[in-house]
A and B are shown apart, each in its own frame.
Chain A
């Protein structure tokens, strides 16, 4: 076995290598690895949180959707009822209006008949008077015989 100065050279080299490793190699690597570990842990944690939040908001959305659907249904029902009511009202109104117009028309017709009757009556009275005067050859004074004419007219 041949021990010589190579031994010392190797010891020095070893120490220098450790120094370099400690200064430039180990810390950046181990720090980056620790940082990544932390980042992955954070990421996983966040993913879990996000999943929970997603599940929660899904449930919320479900409830909201169900509520909205029910509300919509309710509004549609209401609208339908209201529409029916409006149509019914309109129908009723139309019917009433028709009736009213019919009544008015009837009244007018009656009035017209009466008026025609009245004028006819007067015409007849007048004709009667004229006829009578012709028959009697004497003029009947309209003013003198107004009361008698009135009576006549009423009796016709």
Chain B
């Protein structure tokens, strides 16, 4: 039986350049003004709603106002990313080696429009939606998700 998890949130404002991990784990400097939120697991909590995934969320607000979040496992490897805001972030940096998967898939969608992209592969799940001045999306590596991680919590 799984025990519920109480998530504790620590916000740390980091100064200066910060090495971010792109999806899949390759470290990179994403830029922007970073805020890091750590979500830690603890056992023995009362409710059974959550699962005992342990991960860290790093949030960065870009100059444009777009918010980027990177979800890292305990080993520091980024297993999920998300973005929301008026401009698209640098997806090559954010997606790491999965960027090529995205462009390869997008190139095959001859009939589809320009406002949505949904990709479901064994190596990456990616959703990118929106329009100029209002973009949002997320991506994760299914095989890299921490045990019990609920992908609907990515926001």
A binds B: no
A residues bordering B, Cβ < 8 Å?
none
